[in-house]
Amino acid sequence: MEINQGKGAVKGMGGKTLCIIPARGGSKRIPRKNVRNFKGRPVIAWSIGAARESGIADTVMVSTDDKEIATVAKAYGAEVPFMRSSENADDRAGIAEVLIEVVENYQKLGRSFDYVVCILATAPLIRASDLKKAYGMLKSCAGAGSICSVESFSYPPQRGLRLKDGRLEMLNPDHYTARSQDLEKIYHDCGQFFIFRTTALLRDRKLYTEYTLPFMLDETGAQDIDTDTDWKIAELKYELLYGKEGKNK
């Protein structure tokens, strides 16, 4: 196993910061996807590496119920001080519940944090510079409780179609004659990261807090990975960004 001998413990910029990488062992659509090889290393290693390189977190940890994932996470420089509870280890558990469990477990150990960074385990296109910039944006906006990486839908959802009784119909017939450029731009979470003020996370207990800032990414720089096709697209985007030789080899 390749061991990351990179940076040691990093310190947050003004306030204790915890980075949590959720990595459940029971992925169904892509078996063992969190430790599957992506361009020469387990895919989770890219998330750990970006968190450490960014320098924004005092602690980088992986929340998992799986011993193999825990071993890989430690090899690449993350903490695994405790295993995830069975209640939050099935495919119905939400990410917010996992983050809150981790924060509360650290509190039981006498450790508290002002900020929580959540990086998805399958985010190999993530850039440390984006994490650092988003962290600074959240800190500089006193009223905001969180920030989420997003990208715009490439096609206007307002002109979407659905199947009803085997026939196509528009979701919003009122938009039949509307030009795409005249419709409101709509965004979606692009599967990379969230950053929270811990007080907002514990108060609202969900990923989108009362005041969530957007961190805009383009389609090339992000890829949510849920299927084998998504995985192949992520590899192509990686090569487009960094070439076949890649980065940090």
Look up tokens 């179609």; give the residue. Answer: 161
pLDDT bucket at 1, cuts 50 / 70 / 90: very low
Q: Is the pLDDT of residue 28 over 60?
A: yes
79 against 91, higher pLDDT = 79
In the prediction, which pLDDT does 164 show? 95
CATH number of 17-150+188-240: 3.90.550.10
pLDDT surpassing 60 at residue 7: no
- Amino acid identity at 16: K
- pTM, rounded to two decimals: 0.91
Q: Which residues have a Cβ under 8 Å from the Cβ of 103 and sit 6 or more positions away?
A: 18, 113, 116, 198, 201, 202
Question: Rg (Cα) of the chain, in Å, rounded?
Answer: 19
| 147 vs 126: CA distance, rounded Å | 15
Calculate the CA dihedral of residues 143, 13, 84, 47 and round it to 10 degrees. Answer: 110
Q: Is the pLDDT of residue 224 over 90?
A: yes
Per-residue pLDDT, 127: 97
Task: Look at residue 23 and tell me whether its pLDDT is greater than 70.
Answer: yes
Instruction: List the domain boundaries for the chain.
Output: 17-150+188-240
Distance CA 223, CA 69 (A): 22
Closest CA to 199 of 210, 186, 187, 214: 210
User: What rounded mean pLDDT belongs to the chain?
Assistant: 92
Give the whole-angstrom CA distance, residue 88 versus residue 172: 37
Distances (CA, A) of 103 to 49, 63, 162, 179, 214: 21, 11, 41, 46, 23
State how far the Cα of 223 lies from the Cα of 181, in Å rounded to an integer. Answer: 24
